[in-house]
Structures are given as C-alpha cells and as structure tokens.
Amino acid sequence: MKKDDLYFLKEAIKEAKLGQRNGGLPIGSVLVKNNIIIGRGHNRRVQEDSVILHAEMSCLENAGRLKAHDYKQCTIYSTLSPCDMCSGAILLYNIPRVVIGENENFKGPEEYLYENGVDLVNLNLEECKTILSDFIYKNPILWYEDICIE
C-alpha cells in the first residue's frame, strides 16, 4: 500500500455513491497518473442500459484516448475486485497497478492479473463491503441479472 492509496480509493467510493444516488449500482473507480486523477467513473448499467459500462470501463472511457506510455504510469482504483472484462481492459492497456476496496461481494480473476505482472492491492475496506452488500440485499434481481449462478 502506498501513501495516497486510501485517499484515491475514497474518491472511488464517492463515485460509487454518486452512481447509487442516480439509481445505479454502487461501484466506483478512478484512474490516477503521477498522483493526479485523470479519469473517474461508476457503473452505469441501469443509467445507460449498458452491459459494458462497469465502473472501471466508465473510468477508462472518461480518461479519454491516452497513449501507451501514459497508461504505464497509471494506477486504477476500484471499490470492487475487477471482473473478467475490466481485468482484460487493465491488461490491454498495460496498467501496472490496481488498488481495490474489497473482493468479498465479488472476486474477479485476480490471479490472472498477478500472473500477467499486475500489482494488485486489496485495501479490504468495510465501507466498500457494506455499501455493495446492502445494495445486493435490496436489489438481488438487478445484481444477478446477467451473472450465471448455476
């Protein structure tokens, strides 16, 4: 964990809360380059009827078209462990570091990220766990809509 990780993760939490206030899933993300936030976003499945605008994807889209050498200086923060798609985006753009709030409500392919050289740090924050578990408890149909639980 680095000095400002908690500060930036709290910015991701602000995004999660903003998304929830707008009727969406409370998952947020920020992209940080050289200690400056250059992108931020939250899950927009409900708001945009989107299957691709997870928090990390919204955040990357919001940051705009960066160069490969920009991504290599970035850390992406997310309130939740990135799913397969978001982990794939992290690998595509060679983002070397990922800081997450928790992986109890959902855990993505963290081992695959490690194997591919990504430094993933889990801050294991109660606030992140509670925001999302409360949401899932109240909105199970929405949460499980596209997740296969056979």
Binding residues for a copy of itself (CB under 8 A): 45, 49-52, 57, 60-61, 63-69, 71-72, 83-89, 91-94, 112, 145-149
* Residue 15 annotated in active site: no
Q: Which of 11/61 has CB closer to a copy of itself?
A: 61
Cβ proximity to a copy of itself: between 18 and 91 the closer is 91
Minimum distance, C-beta of residue 83 to a copy of itself, in the bound complex (Å):
5
State the nearest-atom distance from the C-beta of 74 to a copy of itself, in Å. 12
Distance (Å, whole) CA 22 – CA 10: 19
- Choice between 13 and 59, CB closer to a copy of itself: 59
Q: Give dist(CA 29, CA 39) in Å, integer.
A: 8
Q: Which of 56, 61, 115, 150 is catalytic?
A: 56
Least distance in angstroms from the C-beta of 119 to a copy of itself: 17
Cα-to-chain-centroid distance, residue 3:
20
Q: What is the DSSP string of 78-127?
A: ESS---HHHHHHHHHTT--EEEES-SSS----HHHHHHTT-EEEE---HH
Residues 6+ apart with CB under 8 A from 25: 19, 42, 43, 45, 46, 135, 142, 143
Residue placing its CB nearer to a copy of itself in the complex, 109 or 123: 109
Nearest-approach distance from CB 94 to a copy of itself, in angstroms: 5
Alpha-carbon distance of 8 to 91, in angstroms, equals: 21
Active-site positions? 56
